[in-house]
Structures are given as C-alpha cells and as structure tokens.
Amino acid sequence: MVVKVYGSAFACAKRVLICLVEKEIEFETVPVDIIKGEHKDPEYLKLQPFGVVPVIQDGDYTLFESRAIIRYYAEKYKSQGTDLLGKTIEERGVVEQWLEVEAQNYHPPIYNLALHVLFSDKMGFPADAKVIEESEKNLGKVLDIYEERLSKSKYLAGDFFSLADLSHIPFANYLGVMGKMYLIEERKHVSAWWDDISSRPSWKKVLEL
C-alpha cells in the first residue's frame, strides 16, 4: 500500500512530495479542488479538520501539517535515501532551528506575497498593495540574515542538505512566477544556495508531476 498525498498541486503539499522522493518512498497523489471547495467537504474535514492541504494516508495512519509529515518520513526512513536530519542529535537540533526559522520568519511574508500577487483574483479579494510592500520588505530582512548564514555554511543547517533547506523550495519557486526572483538573485550566497537546491532531481521530478 503506497502513501497517499492529498492536495499535491499546492505548494505546502510539494514539501511532502520532495521529501518522499528524497527518501525513495513510493506515493500516489489525490487531487483536492480548493476552488470548488473540496477541502471543506465533510469527508475531507474528517482527515484534516482545519480544511487545508496536505494530509497523508499511509495505511491506517493519517497525518497533516507538511512539516510534521516531512519530519515523520525523514525519521522513519532515516537509513534510506538522503539523510535529511543530520547525523547526530545536535545536528538535528540545528536542522530543527532553521526549519522553525522557515516556518516562523520566511513563510509568513512569502505566503502573503503569493496570496496577494498570484491568488487574490482566483480567490475573489483585492490584492493589497500595502501587504505586498511590507511582505517584500520583511522577506528581504530575513534573506539578509540567510545571506550572512550561507556565507559561512553551504546549507542552512551545515554542510548537508536537510529538511530546513527543502522546506523553502515550493514557495521560493513562486518568486519566479511573481517576477520577484531578484530577492534571491541579488544576494550572492542565497542565490548560490537556491541554484543548488532547486537543481536537485527531487524538485525537478515534483515539478513534472
């Protein structure tokens, strides 16, 4: 029985897909049509009570929240595929630190940017120029700190690609779609890091799905 990943068209779900490919775990995808409101169907809410994507079903085991799902698979299959958690508990701590940074500092502004620039029309609300301006400013400040970090460290958690780097990929990709890739490209070490992680076969595979 393979892992089922719901909502694979969406960025948050893509974190899970990249992780499963890196860990060499078979999966199948189940579409969830958010425009049609499928994420609010009673059947879906039984799986994910907050009515968002992704959620996975692995036999009887159900799990939601993309960063919880990637931690689960990275740990369960530690000995196969890419090691995404580091070799020691201390290395894992640093992975967790930068994964929290992604969730708390990077994600909110980039999510707001994508929401207002790319999805406001589809979702039926006016794009708020003030939100866009502030989000871009906040994202810039975060990326300045990344620039400093990545000038000393090849990847965020050290010299190895980890869940911390992986978690950035799907939303960073939206910067290209929004014509805001300069935020990455203007920063030498962030740009080199992005070129590296976005060239991984796992991301190329996920883009083709």
CB of residue 204 to other proteins, shortest distance in Å: 27
Q: In degrees, to the nearest 5, what angle opens at C-alpha 144 toward C-alphas 142 and 145? A: 70
The reply on whether position 90 binds other proteins by CB under 8 A is yes
Strands 3-6 and 55-58: antiparallel
Q: Which residue has the tokens 């939100």?
A: 131
CB of residue 197 to other proteins, shortest distance in Å: 20
Coil, strand, or helix at residue 154?
Answer: coil
Strands 27-30 and 3-6: parallel
What mask, x for binding other proteins by CB under 8 A, covers residues 175 to 204?
------------------------------
- Whole-number CA gyration radius for the chain: 17
Do 209 and 17 touch, CB atoms closer than 8 A?
yes
Nearer to other proteins, 54 or 184 (CB): 54
Q: Which of 35, 36, 43, 61 binds other proteins (CB under 8 A)?
A: 61
Crossing angle of helices 129-150 and 188-198, in 10° steps, is 90
Burial 40-66 (b: 16+ CB within 10 A, else e): eeeebeebbeeebbbbbbbeeeebbbb
Among 21-29, 61-69, 115-123, 179-187, which window interacts with other proteins (CB under 8 A)? 61-69
The reply on whether position 28 binds other proteins by CB under 8 A is no
The reply on whether position 71 binds other proteins by CB under 8 A is yes
Q: Which of 9, 97, 196, 204 binds other proteins (CB under 8 A)?
A: 97
The reply on whether position 65 binds other proteins by CB under 8 A is yes
Q: Which residues inside 128-147 make contact with other proteins, applying CB under 8 A?
A: 145
Nearer to other proteins, 25 or 181 (CB): 25
The reply on whether position 100 binds other proteins by CB under 8 A is yes
Calpha distance 119→110 (Å, rounded): 13
Nearer to other proteins, 145 or 209 (CB): 145
The reply on whether position 96 binds other proteins by CB under 8 A is yes
Q: In degrees, to the nearest 5, what angle opens at C-alpha 103 toward C-alphas 75 and 124? A: 125
Residues near other proteins (CB under 8 A) are: 49-50, 61, 63-65, 67-69, 71-72, 75-76, 89-90, 92-94, 96-97, 99-101, 103-105, 108, 145, 148-149
